[in-house]
Structures are given as C-alpha cells and as structure tokens.
A = this chain, B = another copy of it.
Amino acid sequence: MVSEKMLELGRRRSVIRELFEYGRTRRAEIGEDRVFDFSLGNPSVPAPAVVGDTLAALLRETDPALLHGYTSAQGDARVREAIAAYVRQTYRAPADADRIYLTAGAAAALSIALRALLPDGGGDEVIAIAPYFPEYRVFTENAGGRLVPVPARAGDFGIDIPGLLAAVTPRTRAVIINSPNNPTGAVLSVSDAAALGEALRSASERVGHPIYLLADEPYRELVYDGVTVPWLPLYYENTLVLYSFSKSLSLPGERIGYVLVHPDAAAAEEVYAAILGAGRSLGYVCAPALFQYMIPACLGKTSDLQVYRENRDRLYTALTRYGYDCVRPEGAFYLFVRALEPDAVAFSERAKKRELLLVPSDDFGYPGYVRIAYCVSPQMVERALPAFCALAEDYRKGS
C-alpha cells in the first residue's frame, strides 16, 4: 500500500527518539526528578537574550507581510551577505553570499547536499567516520547512495587517515566529518585537518573526480578549554560546511542553518545550483523567514556554555572514578562511554533499571558504547551520579 522503506523508517524511529519517548512516559509514572534522561541532544540552557530580543524587535518593527513573506529560495540576500562577512572575518577564509544556501537546520542541509552531490543512477558511496550520527545513513540512502563507515582512530576518536584512504573507491563521492563530534565529543585537530585535506586531494586525483568533504558542524562553537575547531575549507577546497544554529543558540525546534560551498570548490557553481534543485525537489521552499532575519544579530553568539562545561567535568570525573572508561570530550555535549558488557543494547536496558536513559552506540556504527547527552541541568547530573555508581556496582558484583 505504501513505501516499505518509509514505513520501516517511520515504524522503527530512531533509537534516540524511542528512548526519549520512553523517558517522557517514565517521568509521568514515577516523577520528573527520578528519571535520568540523557537520551536527546536538546539543549537545556536557554537561548541567549539576543535571540528573544531580536525576534521581539523584528515582530514589533517590521511590516508583517515582508517579515513573514517568501524569501528567495536560497535565503534572504542580506542574511547570506552577513554570514559570508562573518566567515571571512572569523576564519580569514573566502566566503561568497552566492554560495550560501539557508536551510531548515543541519538535517535538511545534509539531506539536500547529499541529494545534490550523488549522481542519479544510485549506488555511489559516502564515507562516514564511525561512530557517526545515525541519520547519515538515512539521508545517504534517500539520495540513492550507500554509507561506508570507517572506524575512528582507536584511543582518541580522531580520523584514521590510512583507513579512510583504503575505503575510497571510484564510487566515493563524499566524506562526512562531524567535529566537534556527536557522539564522542572529539574535535578534529589542526594536524588531522591538514592530513585529511592532503588525503582527499590525493584520493580525488586517484579516482578521477572530486571527493567532496561535508563538514557537519552544528557544534562548532560548543568547545571547552580554549580548543580551536579548524575551518575545514582552509584545508581542503572541495568542502561544504553544513551549519545549524540549533545547538549554539539552543533553537533545535526552529530548524535554521545553512550550507556554505567553498567558492573555490570544483564545479562550485554546479554544486550550488544542484543544491537549489535538491532543496526544491525535497519540498523546501525557503528556510523559516523570521529565523532567517534573526541570524545577523546572532552570528557568533552562544547560549551560556558554563553549564555544559560543569556537567562534562562532573560526569567525566565521577564516571572515571566509578570505573567507567570514557574519552574526555573537548566539545559538543556528549560523553561516549564503554558499556560494561559487550552488548551495549543489553547494557542500556540494564541502565534503564536504574532509571538511566543512555543511547546504545550500535546505530552509530560502533558497538559496545553508550552515548550520554549531558545538555541537562546540573541538578539532574548530581542526582544521577549514585545511579551510575550503583550500575557499576551491579556489574562488579556480577548480579
């Protein structure tokens, strides 16, 4: 009766969403304070004041017919110009308003970019570094492609360059990099960025066509301890930056972000035109107008990151002390922790008995771990620590 693929996607939901809905039900059953829901990357820190102030001023001062009217399909020209100027100034990198396309968030940006880049016949390949955001597979398959996972470097979850190069075939069209990373919190180092650019340049030459780098960067500003996130177009010209204001400004429900095509990318004009076509084809008419006009006042601004930093420190220190094996995150708001038994799904189920909602890593293409989304209140972290401790005890006792 219907598309079997869509039915399966709709029925299965993502594991993350499933756990989030379970948490909602469970809280209603036993009380808000007794469930420790680390499932969803939904920022707990409110948007900075500039967001509300800007929206209120736009509503007060702009003719509603203009404010809420259609913008150009690629987004309002002045907004794109503001983003380009910000990128030029902040990263000392080229940017062109006519190579920026505003989207309904990073998910739309990815879905559109992949549909634009993959040839129509199907069967082309997109490399992602595992663990990877599960929807990469969904969007790649929707564009007729096949996701090829390459495991991250053991130890620090950086990019295994030799492994990446070994995975490149003549069907490889794109590589997705997510830094700061969901789910590990790892940030690509400058030396890794340079090595990645070099590797992709040689691989493109080998296969005889450009391999595009999709830099999925919704967590760009969410970094700690003065870590710098390399601007990947500086290291590789065939780069598309996919940005979202969801996490930096705590606006995930509003769906606002952009695709930036490096002005010197191979066939940049064709890539940009195909992005316009893909957006049109998938039913995106324009990014939400009010939130487009909010952007110029909010570029480079973030919600207060202090809470995330404190949560990270508190959780990392405590969990390590309880005997968990975790990588110290440099950015984003996720802690990637080795499960206390080989089967992460079984571990996640056992954690549920302690009211801890942790996402098993299997759908991230990297079994044996759980993801802890610590974009929650410090009070919840504090309340959850005894449960983490008890869970580790359960395993020690073999109970």
Is A5 located at the chain interface by the 8 A CB criterion? yes
Given A64-B47, A107-B283, A138-B281: A6 and B274 within 8 A (CB)? yes
Q: Are A52 and B69 in contact (CB under 8 A)?
A: no
Given A11-B277, A63-B46, A64-B51: A254 and B120 within 8 A (CB)? no
Interface hits, A181-228 → B, CB 8 Å? 209-210
- Give the distance in Å from the alpha carbon of A276 to the alpha carbon of B71 in the complex: 27
Report chain B residues within 8 Å CB of A272.
10
Q: 0/1 per residue, A2-19, Cβ < 8 Å to B?
A: 111111111101100100
Is A55 located at the chain interface by the 8 A CB criterion? yes
Q: Are A284 and B108 in contact (CB under 8 A)?
A: yes
Report chain B residues within 8 Å CB of A110.
283
Report chain B residues within 8 Å CB of A63.
46
- Give the distance in Å from the alpha carbon of A138 to the alpha carbon of B8 in the complex: 24
Q: Are A117 and B277 in contact (CB under 8 A)?
A: no
Chain A interface bracket (under 10, 10 to 19, 20 to 34, 35 or more): 35 or more
Q: Are A117 and B3 in contact (CB under 8 A)?
A: yes
| Identical copies in the complex | 2
Q: Are A270 and B7 in contact (CB under 8 A)?
A: yes
Report chain B residues within 8 Å CB of A348.
none
Considering residues A45, A64, A273, A291, which has the most beta carbons from chain B within 10 angstroms of its beta carbon? Answer: A64
* A111 and chain B: residue at smallest CB distance: B283
- Give the distance in Å from the alpha carbon of A215 to the alpha carbon of B138 in the complex: 28
Q: In the assembled complex, how far is the CB of residue A19 from the closest CB belonging to chain B, in whole angstroms?
A: 13
Is A68 located at the chain interface by the 8 A CB criterion? yes
* Partner-contacting stretch, out of A245-253, A308-316, A363-371: A245-253
Q: Are A253 and B68 in contact (CB under 8 A)?
A: yes
* A272 and chain B: residue at smallest CB distance: B10
Interface hits, A1-38 → B, CB 8 Å? 1-11, 13-14, 17, 21
Q: In the assembled complex, how far is the CB of residue A171 from the closest CB belonging to chain B, in whole angstroms?
A: 14
Is A392 located at the chain interface by the 8 A CB criterion? no
Minimum-distance CB pairs A-B, first 3: A111-B283, A253-B289, A10-B277
8 contacts between A and B (CB under 8 A): A1-B210, A2-B274, A21-B72, A47-B65, A56-B56, A105-B285, A108-B284, A253-B292
